[in-house]
Amino acid sequence: MTRSFDVSGAPHMPPQTTVAKVMLQVLLALVPGVLAYTWFFGPGILIQIILASVFALLFEFLMLRMRGRPLKPFINDYSAVVTAVLFALCIPPLAPWWISCIAMMFAIVFAKHLYGGLGQNVFNPAMVAYVVALISFPQAMTSWLPPLALAEQSLGLVDSLSVILTGQVPLAGGWDVISQATPLDTLKTGVEAGRMLPEIRNTPLFGDFGGKGWEWIANWFAVGGIFLLYKRIISWQVPVAVIGSVVLVSLPFWLADPDSNPLPLQHVFSGAIVLAAFFIATDPVTGCVSNRGRLIFGAGVGIITLIIRRWGGYPDGVAFAVLLMNMAAPLIDRYTRPRMYGE
């Protein structure tokens, strides 16, 4: 009385996790930061996230069809949505809709699928999208908003939607009335004009560490990042290396000349350092494989960001730093191969 069975390889256990689950947990970790953003800067960011996600999924669908790949596992794996959300967090909340469209096209088509699709891209797609948009459309990409508490005029949901879709501000005075430079922007122009730091920071735009509002958003991103660490989605090496290198490298400069160099923690909590440390530089596909490699990668991101902030032409250099380190990642991997058992 024999019976036949189907055969398949080991292990024969229910699998622990899926790609979609990993991506969903990343999105979950971003929620506190996004809510804080909406609280401080208005509903524009939510519209941007939705727009970017829609465009990203649309381009993903088109590319999968063109490449003859099956839709089922790839559309559902939420990797395009993660790219879209990270990109939306980097652009001004009232950026026009076509910025999202063009940027997501670059991210999904060029930076992801033309390199081979999920898991094969060399450069971080969200950062590629941001850099392309920044360089091609500097005007639209630098019309930032002040925190709601400080704004003379602020826009509600419907007004934000109309600004994003039409590009026209429905207020007398247009863009000049609502937009204002970011804290990092103000710092840079101030330092170049030769003013001292305490003087520059003596405006309501700045909080204790970074800009008002911005530092709180960074806090909430850090909370999300710690959640990811707890769930073992990311490893501690990259966040510690990014933040650690920023603090360690800016410390001697601040000690030497506190009037023209910001406090290290001010560096950490302004701009996108915290977001990069926990969400962008930890992208596994474009980062390093070994733990030592990840430390070097994170340190590189931190140091290059500081260099661009201090001496470069842009107020915040995180995106460029990440892309440069993406280029270096395979080489770092080759030299930081961990020792094998018995070697």
Partner 1 sequence: MNSSQHIERAQEAGKRIHHFHGGLRLKHHKKISCQDPVERPPLPDLLIVPLLQHAGDTAEPLVHVGDRVLKGQQIGQCQPCAAIHSPVSGIVEAIEDRPMSHPSGQPGPCVVIRPDGKEQWTRLAPLTDWLNASADDLIAQMQQCGLAGLGGAVFPTHAKTRDGRERKTHTLILNGVECEPYISCDEMLMREQPDKIILGARILRRALGAERVVIAIEDQMGIVQQALTGSDEFAQSENITVVKVPAIYPEGGERQLIQVLTGLEVPAGGRPSDLGLVCQNVATSAAVADAVTAGKPLIERYVTVTGNGISHPRNFKALFGTPVSHLVDCCSGYTKDVARLVVGGPMMGYPLKSDDAPVVKASNCVLALSRQDIEEPQAEMPCIRCGECARVCPATLLPQQLHLQITNDLWKDVESYGLSACIECGCCDYVCPSHIPLVDWFRFGKGELRKRARENEAAELARKRFEEREARLIRIKQERAEKMQRRKQLLKDKALQQDRIKASIQRAENKTRARAKDPGEAQDGGQSHDS
Partner 2 sequence: MLISVLILGALGIVFGLGLGWAALRFHVKSDPVVERIDALLPQTQCGQCGYPGCRPYAEAIAVEEADINQCPPGGDAGIRALADLLGREPKPLNPENGEETSKTVVLIDESRCIGCTLCIQACPVDAIVGATKLMHTVIKSECTGCNLCLPPCPVDCIDIVEAETSPPRWQRPRPQTGFKRVPIR
The binding site for partner 2 (CB under 8 A) comprises 9, 68-70, 116
- Could you tell which of partner 1, partner 2, none binds residue 165, using a CB distance below 5 to 8 A set by kind? none
| Distance in Å, CB of 103 to partner 1, minimum | 22
What is the DSSP annotation of 256-268? H-TTTS--HHHHH
Backbone angles phi, psi at 215, to 5 degrees: -70, -35
Give 193: exposed, middle or buried? Use CB within 10 Å, 0-12, 13-18, 19+. exposed
Give 28: exposed, middle or buried? Use CB within 10 Å, 0-12, 13-18, 19+. middle
In the bound state with partner 2, the residue whose beta carbon lies nearer, of 123 and 227, is 123
Rg (CA), the chain: 22
In the bound state with partner 1, the residue whose beta carbon lies nearer, of 91 and 329, is 329
- Could you tell which of partner 1, partner 2, none binds residue 256, using a CB distance below 5 to 8 A set by kind? none
In the bound state with partner 1, the residue whose beta carbon lies nearer, of 151 and 285, is 285
- Could you tell which of partner 2, partner 1, none binds residue 68, using a CB distance below 5 to 8 A set by kind? partner 2
Rounded distance, CA 203 to CA 186, Å? Answer: 10
In the bound state with partner 1, the residue whose beta carbon lies nearer, of 13 and 193, is 13
Residue 131: CB partners within 8 Å, gap ≥ 6?
Answer: 319, 320, 323
Rounded distance, CA 274 to CA 255, Å? Answer: 23
| Distance in Å, CB of 338 to partner 1, minimum | 6
Residue 321: CB partners within 8 Å, gap ≥ 6?
Answer: 276, 300, 301, 302, 303, 304, 305, 308
In the bound state with partner 2, the residue whose beta carbon lies nearer, of 76 and 291, is 76
| Distance in Å, CB of 229 to partner 1, minimum | 13
- Could you tell which of partner 2, partner 1, none binds residue 1, using a CB distance below 5 to 8 A set by kind? partner 1
Rounded distance, CA 181 to CA 37, Å? Answer: 17
SS3 304: helix
SS3 166: helix
In the bound state with partner 1, the residue whose beta carbon lies nearer, of 205 and 301, is 301
- Could you tell which of partner 1, partner 2, none binds residue 230, using a CB distance below 5 to 8 A set by kind? none
- Could you tell which of partner 2, partner 1, none binds residue 204, using a CB distance below 5 to 8 A set by kind? none
| Distance in Å, CB of 180 to partner 2, minimum | 40
Rounded distance, CA 56 to CA 84, Å? Answer: 6
- Could you tell which of partner 1, partner 2, none binds residue 42, using a CB distance below 5 to 8 A set by kind? none
| Distance in Å, CB of 79 to partner 2, minimum | 15
* Interface with partner 1 (CB under 8 A): 1-22, 70, 72-74, 77, 79, 116-120, 232, 235, 284-285, 287, 289-290, 337-343
Amino acid letter, residue 174: G
In the bound state with partner 1, the residue whose beta carbon lies nearer, of 133 and 238, is 238
Asked if residue 124 lies in contact with residue 280, where contact means CB atoms within 8 angstroms, the answer is: yes
In the bound state with partner 2, the residue whose beta carbon lies nearer, of 70 and 156, is 70
- What count of other Cβ atoms lies within 10 Å of the Cβ of residue 227? 18
C-alpha closest to that of 105 among 67, 62, 74: 62
- Could you tell which of partner 2, partner 1, none binds residue 232, using a CB distance below 5 to 8 A set by kind? partner 1
